[in-house]
Structure 1
Amino acid sequence: MTKTQHFTNTLISGLAAKYKNEIPTKEQVRETAKQLADLLNYTDELTNIITEVMIAIDTRMGAGVSLIDVTAKHDDQWVHKRENIKWTYTHAYEQFLREESWPPQMVQSLSDVTNRILGHLQDPSSEGSTWSRRGLVIGHVQSGKTANYTGLIARAADTGYKFIIVIAGIHNNLRKQTQQRIDEAFIGRSSDPDDRRYIGVGLTSDYPHPATLTNVNEDFNKNTAAKSGWKINNQVNPTILIIKKNVTTLTALYKWLKELNATNDGRIRDIPMLMIDDEADNASINTNKEDLDPTKTNAKMREILSLFAKSCYVGYTATPFANIFINPDAYGEGVSEDLFPRDFIYCLDAPTTYFGPEKVFLNETTSSRIVRPIDDCEDLIPYSHKRDDLISELPQSLYRALNEFIIARAIRNLRGQANKHCSMMINVSRFVPIQNAVRDFLSLREKLIRQAVIANYAMDEGISSKNMYMQELKQVFENEYASVGFTWPEVKAALNSVFDNLHLYVINSKSDEILDFKRYENEGVGLTAIAVGGFSLSRGLTIEGLTISYMYRNTKMYDSLMQMGRWFGYRPSYEDLCRVHLSYDSIEWYSHIADAAEELIQQVRQMRRDKLSPKDFGLYVRSHPDTLLITAANKMRFGEKVTVEQSYSGRIWESHIVSIDPEVNAKNFSLITELWQGRFGGCKEESTKKGPIYRDVAIEILNEFLVRFECHASISSTKSAVKDYLDRVKGKYPLADVVLISPARGTQSSKPFALNNQERAVGPNQPKGNGWHLNKGRVASRGDEQLGLSDDQIEQARKKAAAGSEEELDCTIEKIAVSDTHYRMIRNKPLLMIHSLAPKGDIVQGPIAAFGISFPYGDQKTTINVVVNKIWLQQMTGYSDNPDEDDHDD
């Protein structure tokens, strides 16, 4: 541990003891830091330490929410009822986290949450010759799931689980990264054959080191295990394996367990087993490669579980749209009980300092600062390309991103963060040759910039500004970072230090280059890394200090796209420098996914209040309209039509692709005027802050509107599905509300029964023909769905947003973020919102008619059958990004 880290940890601990139930002010932190510095004779600069400590002590994490099988005879308080549990591994792990600068309240929160999850597992000392439990933990991308399941492993080991398997994704680099973390946080000894030493938790005396048959270089291998000559039931301390999720490894493990460890009846008895399935949704990837076959992988995992008479399976994922929710009958007979989390689902809360989808894509203020659209990549590295395509040049937007990275690193150095890692991620292709070509171009450009900086960073501006590369760096500073607290002369003077530890890497299975952040940490140096890759950068791999991201990929599969978002995580003291470069399509889809993922969490909270079970959540996900994009691909290998059940309960559907044909819009506005003049069937008009609302409109009026409103051809089929769903629920919802969105600040209309226009930007890359694809795929603004609700109903929505955690939140209701999802929970009938859009610029001529229909919660089990084929799916998801189509980087 460095001197600075030791001082920081001591300061955090001291503040926690001094201000137990309150958050100290910055002045109080500064005063305590000065006192401690005098006491410890610490003479280094305190500014950055104070900033880091302020962030640490203000970080909070809620308890999350669980959904359990209410019919099961399980006592989740068994942990508290068992006497004399020695929490050896747990206390060692918590101390390790504190030494890693985790604030005390975060360590305590993690301890509380893992204790609750442990309660959902079976007591390993419980009576009974056989038992099994199945569960799922839903977290957030790059939000600390590894820390959570490591804490669960420590607690499980303390209570008597003797054999633990961690399945760490499908890539070697992720398995190695996980092995290193488990080595430090649980095993306590480096598993590097060339560096066998005590590390992490193992530095304490008399630590009971668990046994393992995997190391940083080698996955599980049957020959290695057999040569060891030991059996798992001979071990006093627990045994842990960290393996890849691939058929060969799982088969080897199964055979070894069965041949060396099973009893005469073919089962392993009296050895409680815990299986942690990291990236649990990743067994659902659509691939024909035999070793990654999802059906065989799933079957092998189930076979291993079935070997043990006493077993628990816990999947961890940030993207629960996965094959574990697909009908288990799809796997056929002959394999053991499926992995569906029948016993519990636990949704983790993200800490308050989490840099996540809400901040990057949904919050308009922060999103506009962080996200940068890519509009010049298609001609050089198109979405759809082959592994042997020639790359003649890189897009200018990528070079601008490189300049951003150099400027951002210089600013971080000025902030005293030179010993912190700083990284840039580039993901534009799954093919190794393309990745290599990108690296070569970037290496050349980096060399030219380096030479320009060396020659000019100390020169007068009149001289340095004549250099092209210095001009570009200055322009990036002025456009992106002029308000972050430093002047251009200060940043220019710091540019030379950027290149001290700057390295370019290609990260894929064919490369021997390793992002070894730990090595630089041990040397007290911050690595400045530019990482180019594809699939290997898309799953679980943590890229330390990620500041600039550049991704041009076209998959729209929820799990794949979300997992590519390595930029999520924690960005203390440099969040304002982070930039994410994406295509317009990806920006739209990330926004869509962020909404959908939040909706799923809210659904878990609602189901908990309603005392429902995981199976009900599974049914909900399977009938979720967006699930088609996840599950249908696995069912459409040969282009056959597929019938999918869908439900629009608690959902909004909008005409997000609109026709720009003047005749079509004239007809649509004529329809709106006609219905408006008739007061939507003679209903009473009331006012809202954005326009008139008609309450209790007969559902037949909405049906007429849906039939007669002419949508763009690309969404007409889904409009029909929405109409079919409306027909199905009209028995429960015979009436609806209709709001005409006509904001006073919009472009005024002089015609009677005509809406004021809402101005909307028109992005590039519009679909060919007569369509306008609205930005982020949204028509309504966030919060529009509260229109027409009473103050009491809005207050109820706030309470819904605050409720549902395992414990009360330590904040007032006014501070809770209320989403449109919460308003749908309060509504008791559908809401039709009608819009008139005025496109900015001259690309599209307006006004344009659009609408959205919001359905309340409460009819999750009402579904419609939708028949689709592979062509339709490809239209929905864009170009394929699946590894079975061609060679790929792993």
Structure 2
Amino acid sequence: MTITADAHRQKVVKFVQELLLDHEDRSDITPSLIAEKITLVISMNPKWGEGLNRDAVTDELIRRFSMWTGQDTALTSDIDHEAWLTSARKQDWRYWQRYREWLERKLSFKVVEALDRSTDTILEQLEDPKRDGSWDRRGLIVGHVQSGKTGNYTGLICKAADAGYKIIIVLAGMHNNLRSQTQMRLDEGFLGYETKPAQDDIRIIGVGEIDGDPAIRPNYVTNRTDKGDFSTAIARKLGITPEQRPWLFVVKKNKTVLERLYRWIRNHVADTHDPETSRRIVTRLPLLLIDDEADHASVDTGEQWFDAEGNPDDEHQPTAINSRIRKILHSFSKASYVGYTATPFANIFIHEKGATREEGPDLFPSAFIINLAASSNYIGPSKVFGHSGPDGREGGVPLVRTVDDYSNGDGRGGWMPQKHNVTHTPLHDVGTALPPSLVEAIDAFLLSCALRDIRGQGSDHSSMLIHVTRFNAVQQHVHSQVDEHVRHIRQRLQRRVDHEDIVQRLRSLWEEDFIPTTQAILAIAPDQASPQQPIWEDVLQALTDNIGDVQVRMINGTAKDALDYSDHKGVGLKVIAIGGDKLARGLTLEGLCISYFLRASRMYDTLMQMGRWFGYRPDYLDLCRLYTTHELCEWFEHITDAAEELRDEFDLMAASNGTPRDYGLKVQSHSVLMVTSRLKMRSAKSLMLSFSGQLLETVSLYRDNPTLQQNLNAAKQLLSSLGKPEPNPTRQRFGSQQNWTGFLWSDIDTTHIVEFLSSYRTHPEAHKVNSALLAEFIQSMAIKNELTHWTVALIGGGTGENLEIVNGISVSMLKRKANGPFEDRYAIGRLLSPRDEAIDLDEAAWGEALKLTREAWRNDPARASDGKEPEVPNGPAIRKVRGFGSNDTPAHPERGVLLIYALDPEQAEAGFPEETHPIIAFGISFPGSNSGLKVEYKINNVGWELEYEPTN
């Protein structure tokens, strides 16, 4: 498809969408009605119909009218804030209007309407730029990974400029390619023209094609070239005077660049002195500072001291980038700061009172934190990896392919062992050949490109990510190997010489993997795949046609990496991108289909940011694949569940009018964040953890008989001391009855729980569940009259062998399938059934928890992997209702729940020897609490780096 044909297709889609919006009954929008409107639009301009793929236009419009977007949730503080945004104020906002019209060419009207609502919500939390006096407003926007955060802040910038903000600074990552990519996106969405070093040759693009009036054309300082950042030469020539049009700066988070910008503001823009400190400040130009990837580099990782009253040391020296961001903000008497991130936890660890004399307040989002809801067609962690269930992961799409042929068994040899250095040369068993898993991944990419072409998406970009090492020298070896491999396939297919084996290999992958995967995706998400089933001869022809366009590139941080997509607009760039840290954060790989990912970081935020494969995959989700290791799958599943729970916590807090400070206190003590960067948690030698309001379950367990016997003995000792149980408990649940097979004890004293935990040995890979630490926490809470009375349940009813733990107490052991072939542990996905955690709740409390759960679910369809409303309450709601109560239910912060399970090793599919002892596992549900009590988790620097930092 040519650039012109692609533009014509966009126009047809846009005008047909407008006609359908006027249709009285939108539920009656059918393919035949769409076809009728397409014919009508083409009759208005017959050129638009030349070469038009009407089926592709129809599929796109059906998707647009079937998707939906949830509601953003917010925690806000109105301290020193004046409400100001009214509909009257928004009249004649030309920057936003043209951006909206430009988006409607490419996006569903529902998505654009949701963006309008979302940016209004953010803007009204900022201060009115026309408000007199001094003000400072700081907030954080939390979006899903690869979910459109750039589009959101572009819309915010347009509205802020319309409202009267004059200086707009965007901090765009730490590398030239990301800064350049962001500049290009803002050229299209806000400026309306290409930014170049020479301003005399203006090329109108993007929103400028809709409204290119020079009278509203924003000014730019930085440009899209490799050397387009804020420089000494720019600073020397640039002067800003009060005027109508806003100024845009897109700069890297680089110490030198930010220092240069700060000095220029202080020396050339400031118009007065602060009467108290004599600092030079800007009073006439309101500032909006957008901090993209705000958790990266912006956070002060130095440890700041506070006195007994919580007052900060104002002589503290922040880290370089944090210091300069704060100095820039501190130089304006009217300033708003908005951070954007998908992994906000480092920002929430910022001390709310952190401040210094030179830098002013730290970047804690004291004014607001807003969780952005994604559209229903967003493919996020919960849709890729599903959610944990007793029978394994549930609800995920079948796109993950695990690999284990990249290294030798010892993890130190082979093509790409986890532990390698800059001198490593990748070698497989047969010399420099690629491992079979990477050969398959490349084949999958070639098939994806061919099938997208058949579906009418040949003019769209298609990308493959290979992320296996952070060393540029090793990446160069990989690049050479992959480039040679692709060249070999290209020559064989195009010349049709010695190509039979390659053709058969590709055909087998298509028939054995692609066809069944497409059918599975159509059953789960029919709007994310195409029902068209081409014949192999057409696929082979498309393979031959497309392989000549496939390029193999190293992503090394230059602006050219980002410019390529723009250069190939309308014809589609097909690229295999090989990189490391430059690919790990922020950079968007457009049309990402195949990912081959071996990096082994265990840090929560690093892993989530490396997930470039999340995002929007309209009509080609079934063609996407993630090739990765069993271990990384386990970690991604773990952090997916953790992220979902923390979003649930956020929604519950928003519903009760919580503030950013409340959420900060909650997250700062959350044990799941033991797997994020310890430096960002500002804790040099230890972590202070609270387990209040959390569920802990043992999902990494020992395999050896002596330890299994020790844990079985701990269970026997506990259960024999509890007295007479309630067998097979039942609970009423609004017209239905829940039944458990097992035994229940109520009102159990804390001492029994502490003794059990002191005797039980948890596996070191069970990062959240440390039995000694839990025992200490429970004892400390009991002193405060919390966690003093426990419910204990032994859950049975499985399909395994019968196990008598003590006289009269026996259960059929449960099946929990192993979650990967680990020699050092028996790892499972989920221990508890979701309903088990509510075994102690009466009907009223259970109903209140379900109500809270459904309210949170309706807010964000991106988190609903199967589209069905929850039938049981989620964990955060259960623990909130138990600990804090509600209007109709009393609070029980004194009541914890211990759930014990016996797992059958013979059903685990984990390679246990025949004589392996039964496996005792447990879960603990802690009620919500305001006590703030924490226990200390100690770890030394070397231990932390060995455990969580990337090893390659």
- The reply to whether TM is greater than 0.5 is yes
Deviation digits for residues 742-789 of structure 1 (CA, Å, limit 9, x no counterpart): 24445555886344333344455625xxx414145x433555534555
User: Aligned ranges for residues 93-242 of structure 1 at < 5 Å?
Assistant: 93-99=99-105, 101-128=106-133, 130-193=134-197, 196-203=202-209, 204-206=211-213, 208-217=216-225, 218-231=227-240, 233-242=241-250
User: Aligned ranges for residues 103-502 of structure 1 at < 5 Å?
Assistant: 103-128=108-133, 130-193=134-197, 196-203=202-209, 204-206=211-213, 208-217=216-225, 218-231=227-240, 233-265=241-273, 266-283=280-297, 295-323=319-347, 325-327=349-351, 334-363=358-387, 364=393, 367=396, 369-378=398-407, 379-393=414-428, 394-455=434-495, 467-483=500-516, 484=518, 485-502=533-550
1:744 to 1:617, Cα distance in 2 relative to 1, 3 A: same
Task: Indicate conservation of the 8 Å contact 1:633/1:873, yes or no.
Answer: no
Task: Indicate conservation of the 8 Å contact 1:658/1:772, yes or no.
Answer: yes
How far apart are the structure 2 equivalents of 1:757 and 1:627? Answer: 32
Task: Indicate conservation of the 8 Å contact 2:197/2:228, yes or no.
Answer: no
Aligned match of 1:739: 793
One-letter amino acid of the structure 2 residue matched with residue 55 of structure 1: R
One-letter amino acid of the structure 2 residue matched with residue 221 of structure 1: F
3-state secondary structure, aligned to 2:676:
helix
Deviation digits for residues 775-828 of structure 1 (CA, Å, limit 9, x no counterpart): 45x433555534555565554334213436998999999635864333333444
Q: Give, in angstroms, the shift of residue 127 of structure 1.
A: 2.2
Deviation digits for residues 276-310 of structure 1 (CA, Å, limit 9, x no counterpart): 0000000268999xxxx981100100000111111
2:119 maps to 1:48 = no
2:511 maps to 1:504 = no
1:422 to 1:786, Cα distance in 2 relative to 1, 3 A: farther
2:876 maps to 1:821 = yes
Deviation digits for residues 159-217 of structure 1 (CA, Å, limit 9, x no counterpart): 11111100011111110010001011111110034763111111224251111110001
One-letter amino acid of the structure 2 residue matched with residue 757 of structure 1: M
2:700 to 657, 660, 664: 657
Q: Which runs of 5+ in 1 are unaligned?
A: 458-462, 882-890
2:771 maps to 1:719 = yes
How far apart are the structure 2 equivalents of 1:283 and 1:357? Answer: 24
Q: Give, in angstroms, the shift of residue 343 of structure 1.
A: 0.9
How far apart are the structure 1 equivalents of 2:160 and 2:544? Answer: 50
One-letter amino acid of the structure 1 residue matched with residue 464 of structure 2: M
How far apart are the structure 2 equivalents of 1:470 and 1:322? Answer: 49
2:911 maps to 1:842 = yes
Aligned match of 1:460: none
3-state secondary structure, aligned to 1:474:
helix
1:708 to 747, 756, 759: 759
Aligned match of 2:939: 868
Task: Indicate conservation of the 8 Å contact 2:140/2:365, yes or no.
Answer: yes
How far apart are the structure 2 equivalents of 1:298 and 1:841? Answer: 48
2:777 maps to 1:772 = no
1:362 to 1:790, Cα distance in 2 relative to 1, 3 A: farther
Q: Which runs of 5+ in 2 are unaligned?
A: 1-5, 274-279, 303-316, 388-392, 408-413, 429-433, 519-532, 731-737, 884-894
User: Aligned ranges for residues 740-759 of structure 1 at < 5 Å?
Assistant: 740-746=794-800, 753-759=809-815
Aligned match of 2:16: 11
Q: Give, in angstroms, the shift of residue 329 of structure 1.
A: 7.5
Q: Give, in angstroms, the shift of residue 840 of structure 1.
A: 0.9
How far apart are the structure 2 equivalents of 1:192 and 1:724? Answer: 62
Aligned match of 2:634: 588
Task: Indicate conservation of the 8 Å contact 1:381/1:428, yes or no.
Answer: yes
Task: Indicate conservation of the 8 Å contact 1:679/1:694, yes or no.
Answer: no
Task: Indicate conservation of the 8 Å contact 2:326/2:362, yes or no.
Answer: yes
Task: Indicate conservation of the 8 Å contact 1:632/1:642, yes or no.
Answer: no
How far apart are the structure 2 equivalents of 1:401 and 1:199? Answer: 36
1:5 to 1:577, Cα distance in 2 relative to 1, 3 A: same
Task: Indicate conservation of the 8 Å contact 1:283/1:294, yes or no.
Answer: no
How far apart are the structure 2 equivalents of 1:700 and 1:264? Answer: 66
Bigger drift between 659-668 and 32-41 goes to: 32-41
1:178 to 1:670, Cα distance in 2 relative to 1, 3 A: same
Sequence identity, in percent? 32
One-letter amino acid of the structure 2 residue matched with residue 774 of structure 1: A
Bigger drift between 404-413 and 666-675 goes to: 666-675
Bigger drift between 142-151 and 383-392 goes to: 383-392
Task: Indicate conservation of the 8 Å contact 1:219/1:249, yes or no.
Answer: no
Deviation digits for residues 418-463 of structure 1 (CA, Å, limit 9, x no counterpart): 2222111010111111111111111111122223333559xxxxx9
Q: Give, in angstroms, the shift of residue 490 of structure 1.
A: 4.1
**When the two structures are superposed, what TM-score results if normalisation uses the length of structure 2?**
0.84
1:741 to 1:489, Cα distance in 2 relative to 1, 3 A: farther
How far apart are the structure 2 equivalents of 1:197 and 1:26? Answer: 39
Task: Indicate conservation of the 8 Å contact 1:608/1:804, yes or no.
Answer: no
1:680 to 1:585, Cα distance in 2 relative to 1, 3 A: farther
3-state secondary structure, aligned to 1:504:
strand
One-letter amino acid of the structure 1 residue matched with residue 626 of structure 2: V
Aligned match of 2:530: none
Question: What root-mean-square deviation, in Å, do the aligned CA atoms of Structure 1 and Structure 2 show?
Answer: 3.2
2:75 maps to 1:67 = yes
One-letter amino acid of the structure 2 residue matched with residue 468 of structure 1: D
Aligned match of 2:311: none
Aligned match of 1:857: 928
1:261 to 1:512, Cα distance in 2 relative to 1, 3 A: closer
Q: Give, in angstroms, the shift of residue 591 of structure 1.
A: 1.7
How far apart are the structure 2 equivalents of 1:671 and 1:174? Answer: 54
Aligned match of 1:578: 624
One-letter amino acid of the structure 1 residue matched with residue 791 of structure 2: D
How far apart are the structure 2 equivalents of 1:383 and 1:210? Answer: 49
How far apart are the structure 1 equivalents of 2:384 and 2:331? Answer: 44
Aligned match of 1:87: 93
Q: Give, in angstroms, the shift of residue 739 of structure 1.
A: 3.1
How far apart are the structure 2 equivalents of 1:564 and 1:172? Answer: 18
1:708 to 1:349, Cα distance in 2 relative to 1, 3 A: same
Task: Indicate conservation of the 8 Å contact 2:177/2:561, yes or no.
Answer: no
State how many pairs are aligned: 856
1:219 to 1:264, Cα distance in 2 relative to 1, 3 A: same
1:529 to 1:733, Cα distance in 2 relative to 1, 3 A: same
1:169 to 1:558, Cα distance in 2 relative to 1, 3 A: same
Deviation digits for residues 378-412 of structure 1 (CA, Å, limit 9, x no counterpart): 33212221111122243221111111111222222
2:741 to 687, 691, 703: 691
How far apart are the structure 2 equivalents of 1:385 and 1:93? Answer: 47
Task: Indicate conservation of the 8 Å contact 1:64/1:805, yes or no.
Answer: no
How far apart are the structure 2 equivalents of 1:439 and 1:34? Answer: 48
1:30 to 1:678, Cα distance in 2 relative to 1, 3 A: farther
Task: Indicate conservation of the 8 Å contact 2:298/2:321, yes or no.
Answer: no
Bigger drift between 387-396 and 537-546 goes to: 387-396
